[in-house]
Amino acid sequence: MAANRAALKKVPRSASSSRKNPVAPRGKVNSLRLPPGKILKAEAMLIEGHSQREIGRKLHMSAHTVAKIVRTEDFAQHQKNMRERVFAIAPDAIESFRKQVATDGKLAYAFLKDIQIIPSPQAIAEFMAAATPAESGYERQKRMLVDVLLSSRETYGTPLPPEMEKVMAKDAESEEPKTPEAKSPRR
């Protein structure tokens, strides 16, 4: 048996097996043995934002193969070209959008709502529920009516109902600052 091993060691190896590291270098990717249509579908799905695993399942290939497609120079160049095209039109698109927002109130509202400057109706309802103490519907309506009447009086000079004037006069008297009385020091 030892003789057989020695004989096997003397047999010259083929060129493909003589490489120390059989894995391809990371920078270069071996040519893919896939139909061009499948590669194009995978690239399109990658651009649409699908995950490599999802693309592999849909196109019946491994996620590693999809990763190889991502690393190809053609796909990297395509991504670079698309990025450059988007950045080239960005100033024109922003200016066009700015002009359209200035004339279209609905678009401006939708934009502000999308970037969450204007809160959603649910957020407003949650805020109102948390900000105001528990009150009945009647109390809430009464408070809102008083706010409307007072702001109408301040803005337009609308006179208030006589009952409301009396209540406000009583409140004003009770809120007047009282002069501090001299306190005798404790002994």
- DSSP letter at 177 equals P
For the stretch 48-105, pLDDT in tens is 999 999 999 999 998 889 999 888 888 888 889 988 998 999 899 889 988 888 888 8
Q: Could you give the CA distance from residue 136 to residue 148 in angstroms, rounded to a whole number?
A: 19
Q: What is the mean pLDDT of the chain?
A: 77
Q: Residue 148 is encoded by which pair of tokens?
A: 């409307």
Average pLDDT for 110-133: 75
Place of tokens 């499948």: 38
Over pLDDT 70: what percentage of the chain? 73
Q: What angle do CA 124, 133, 123 make, to 5 degrees?
A: 10
What is the model's pLDDT at position 186? 57
Phi-psi region at 157: left, alpha or beta (left = phi > 0; alpha = psi -120 to 50): left
Q: At what angle do helices 73-103 and 105-114 cross, to 10 degrees?
A: 130
DSSP string, 15-67: TGGG-S--SPPSSS-PPP-S-HHHHHHHHHHHHHT--HHHHHHHHTS-HHHHH
Q: What are the distances in angstroms from CA 110 to CA 2, 105, 114, 122, 128? A: 83, 9, 6, 16, 22
Is the CA virtual torsion 76, 81, 82, 88 positive or negative? positive
Q: Could you give the CA distance from residue 74 to residue 81 in angstroms, rounded to a whole number?
A: 11
Looking at the chain, list the stretches that DSSP marks H as alpha helix, in order from N- to C-terminal side.
2-10, 36-48, 52-59, 63-71, 73-103, 105-114, 121-131, 137-156, 162-175
